[in-house]
Amino acid sequence: MVTSGSGQFKSAGPVWGPRQYILAATAVSAVAVVTTVVLSPARIAFSVTGASISTVEGASLVALNFTLHAANPSRRAGVEYSSVTTRLQLYSASHAAAAWLKTDVHQAMPLLQPPASSCSLRASVLFDCKELGCCGRAPPMTVLVLAQVRFKVGLAYSRQYDVQVSCQPVDFFAATAAVARVVCVA
């Protein structure tokens, strides 16, 4: 703005009218909506397969092993896993309580999963079965999966999401455990 000799203000450039403000607000809203839709979280389907046990010769130690499958059906969004942890919940009749065992996921993080793909993560835990009173046979267990993920569309990343799913029943001691697939639910 500049002033003239009479003390009145003159415009230094074009002035926006109501129509231009409405168009600008509409354009900003459209960009915000498109960004929100594009970066909305994709669905990830987890399942557990390959449940097996390994015993340690001459000891009451048992290794419970399984494979965690993560399927990303989205055709537009990739998934970046910054961490994946799993826990086994088992019930001990002798102690009348549930116990949680933290498992080791054998995968380096972060892990980038492309759109429309799946990945497999091996996990295992070693524990003393005498302590829990389950040597030779144990009831089915629950696998709890905790993951921190971000979704990637093109060069843009979404915010970080905490994903928690439960997979049950996983029976490590059944004859068909190695071929059974247990679907996880939120």
Please list the rounded mean pLDDT of every run of 10 residues in the chain (186 residues). Answer: 56 76 86 67 88 81 90 92 92 64 88 94 85 65 93 88 92 81 90
**76-87 in b/e burial notation, b at 16+ Cβ within 10 A?**
ebbbbbeebebb
pTM, entire model: 0.74
Strand 9-10 relative to strand 2-3: parallel, antiparallel, unpaired?
antiparallel
Q: Which two tokens stand for residue 74?
A: 């989205």
* Domain segments of the chain as ranges: 42-185
Residue 44 near residue 51 (C-beta atoms within 8 A): no
In degrees rounded to 5, what are phi and psi of residue 75?
-90, -10
Class in CATH terms, 42-185: mainly beta
Amino acid, single-letter form, for residue 137: R
Residue 156 identity (one-letter amino acid): A
R_g over Cα of the chain: 27
What's the pLDDT score for residue 18? Answer: 85
